[in-house]
Structure formats: structure tokens, C-alpha cells
Amino acid sequence: MPPGSTVAVIGAGAMGAGIAQIAALHGHRVQLHDTRPGAGEAARKGIADALARQIAKGRLTQADADAAVGRIATAVTLPDVGDAQLVIEAIVEDRDAKRELFSRVENVAGPECILASNTSSISITSLAAGMKHPGRVAGMHFFNPAPVMPLVEIVSGLATSPEVAETLYATALAWGKTPVRTASTPGFIVNRCARPFYAEGLRLLAERAGDAATLDAVIREAGGFRMGPFELIDLIGLDVNLAVTTSVWEAYFHDPRYAPSVLQQERVAAGFLGRKSGRGFYDYAPGAVKPLPRTEAAQPAPARVTAHGDLGNAARLLDRIAAGGVNLERTRGDSRFPGGAIHVAGGAGGAWLALTDGRTATARVVDTGVRDLVLFDLALDYAAASRLAVARADTCSDAAYASAVGALQAAGVAVSRLDDVAGLAVLRIVAMLANEAADAVVQGVALPGAIDVAMEKGVNYPRGPLAWADAIGAASVRDVLGNLAAHYGEDRYRTSPLVARRAATGGKLGG
């Protein structure tokens, strides 16, 4: 859309006002329409206040701010948006309401006007159905807060004209955003591919693998995510998060991979909706203190550890242990631990430390015959991780466990013990994120690079799920999923065909 052209934004709530602010700052005349009396003017004032804060921070000049606000007009009636070249709706997330609005807009808008929906999950195909010109309907999904978040999903329904999608892509790019193209499937990219982040966290909590504070800390401090699943759900709102999950689950005909959590449903029923209600997984009442994660007490550092094999991505952990003053010896791999393992001196026979592979520690005792076994979790960067989750086999002695904890603490790592659950926390979440992203590629939702960009820019993941899978290896992802499927006996953990193919050939998932 050329600068100076008119953009109409329908819905003057937080998202609509944010979109109007972006368009006005980039030279467009903006018609801001809302049926609520005074809502448009309130939004215009809010935009002026937001720009004033940018001026105070030196990010914007007074002249540019005044010009942007001056370009925003509050449309009183829907026909006032008739001269717009682009109409973006940001009303309530209800399919029937959006369809009715587009039908009315089509009667007043010019024939070349593009109709875009800011919906986060409603089918663009269904919104365009019954329209006189369905080809001009597309999705332009901004993320909240729209002026700050870089990602915009450009969503094409079955009838969307390729030229319309390209115009919206180019417009988002001109507005300083990072656009990605996606097909109109349930959840698009982000709201679909992010489901395992919440779902696996909720399952771990439901299985009492650890409390919310401990699981969140592990996901942040080992996984590198900005927030843990329960912190993020509380911020989003438990009701909103549950509604999105339920919508995707129903749209995929109750596929168990997207099944909502009863644990979350109970909290919503109780009115524990997160920050906005004062209580969710955490208590936000005045004076409430956020619980600390469970951290193991300090243990003596062992005199010696022996590395069997190279441990792959976890090799940097060995360097940290050695830097902590522990004598490190290296030897060839042990056939019982194909991915490598660390033997920690101490006790009667010492302890064995190994990276989880999707099985429980106790199950691996059966396979390896090693009774004093402790598994540790995946980390984004073992050279920098400040915390690791561990699980001890039921047969592991207290002395052996203490020596394993002491070895990790010597590396400067806080140790959080989880119950002996399959896959621990970070690894199972990352494997499921990668698997979901791979299925999205297989099903033509988006290209691999677009998916990784969307997850990094839209929800601030430290690394795109497909890039992360490439870092740990597609074969490892396949094996973890297979072990989880065998443990739970559920189709939830079925392996994406793309993961299976890349694991067989050694190829990359990303690109």
C-alpha cells in the first residue's frame, strides 16, 4: 500500500489501536472505526500518549508524532471507511461477527480494497465464504502489543488472491515488521506450533514431575525461553490460552496431540485466570511472594569424573566440570550409553550421568544394568545454562545421587530434581515443538524458514524449533518421540514423516 493511501481499522481496542498507530506512523491516512461510543477517540488519545513516551525516550520526534496523530480520523459510521484501500478488522474473535462485518464492508468498500482480518486462529477460508469477491480476503495477524512485536502472519485462504497476499506481505515489510506467509489452517503457524510448549508443561505438572516454579525455572534457565509455560499462561490468561487450545483441538477433530488439560480447565472453572484475576498458577495478590524453584542442597564435588564418549551437545558441560576443579578423564564410549555418559567417582561404585533420551531413568536401568543412574535434561547451551533438571532411577542410592549432583554443581549449575518422568522437561518440549513444526511443513502450512522465524519473532523462542532439532539431530528427535510414545502408549507422540525421513538420511529439518 503506497504511503498516503487510506487504511481503515475496525475495532479500536488494544490491537486495533496498535495497528492504527503503525499505519499512521508510516504515512497512511487512518480511519479508526468502533461501534462503542467514544472508543475511537479514546484510542486516538491512547496512541498520542504512546507516541509521547517514544518522544521522551528519544525514539521519535515531536513533529513525526504530531503528523501521525493528525493522520488518524475516528470514523463514526461504517460508510466512512468506504474510500480505504485496505481494511483491517480487529473486532471480537468470533467467526460469525467477522463474517457479518466483512459482508457489510464489502457493500461500501471499493472493488480494489483488500479486506484483512487480524484473527489469531479463525479460518480465513470460512471468513471469505459467501463474499462477492473472496479473493480479496486474507489474514494479517499482528501480535500483541502490535507496535512492539515484529511478527505479522500473512494468511491465505483457499480463495485468497496471490496478489492480495503479496501486497499485504510487502505492506507489513514496509511498516517495519517481519512478515511470514502461512496457509489458513487451524492456529496458522504460531498458535499451532506453540501448543506443545503449554501441553507438555501442563502434563508434567499434572504428573507431579515438579511444581510450577521449578518447571518454569528449568525451561528458562536451561532451555533459554524467556518465560516458562506457567508464567506465560498466567500472562496470556488461562481462559484465553484454554480457548485457543480447545479451538485447535476441535478444528483437528480431537487429535490427542492438541488435547486441553483438565488441570487448566479446573483453574478456569475456579476463576483462576492468571495475572488479570490475581491468581492463576501463581498468586498475584498484593504482598504475595512468588515461590522459589526446588534446588538441591550443595554437595561435595567429586574427586574425579570419567567421560565415556563425546556426549555431543553436552560436551561443554564436561569443560565446566573440569573448570570447577574436578579431575576429568576421557575414554572411549560405553556401549550401554550410545550418546555418551559421565561416570562420577564416589560411594561404592560411583554414579552414572547421562542425557535423557525420552525414557525414564528407571527404564534405562533395565536396559543398561546400571543401578546408580541419574539423567540430566537438554540445555540450549551447556556452556551457559545456570540450571539443569535431573531425574534419578528408583534404584539409585542416596550416596550415588549426591555425587552426581556434586559433579553438576561443580560446573556452577543449580540442580533441580524432577520425578522420574520420561524425557524430563526441556527435551520433551523441544522434541514436540520440532515435531509439530515438521508436520506443519509436511502439510504445507508454511516453509521451514518461515516457521522458525515466526516462533522466534512471535513468541520469543530462543531458537526456531526446526533449527533446534537440527542442532540436536533429527535422529535424536525421532528416538525421543519413539520412547515417549512407547512410555505413554499414545498417538500424541507419533513421529512426523518429515522427522522420520530426515533421521533416516541425516538431513536437516530447517532451511
Enumerate the active-site residues: 120, 141, 153, 191
Over 263-313, what HEC string results?
A: HHHHHHHHCCCEHHHCECCCECCCCCCCCCCCCCCCCCCCCEEEEECCCHH
Report how far residue 78's alpha carbon sits from residue 60's, in angstroms, rounded to the nearest whole number. 32
For residue 111, whether the previous peptide bond is cis, meaning omega lies within 30 degrees of 0, is: no
Q: Are 90 and 76 in contact (CB under 8 A)?
A: no
Long-range contacts of 32-41 (CB under 8 A, 24+ apart): 32/8, 32/72, 32/73, 32/74, 32/75, 33/8, 33/9, 33/74, 33/75, 33/76, 33/77, 33/78, 33/80, 33/81, 34/10, 34/74, 36/12, 39/12, 39/13, 40/12, 40/74, 40/75, 40/76, 41/74
Residue (of 382, 384, 375) closest to 357 by Cα position: 375
Q: Are 175 and 23 in contact (CB under 8 A)?
A: yes
In a 13 Å sphere around the CA of 259, the CA atoms on its Cβ side amount to 12
How many CB atoms are located within 10 Å of the residue 158 CB? 13
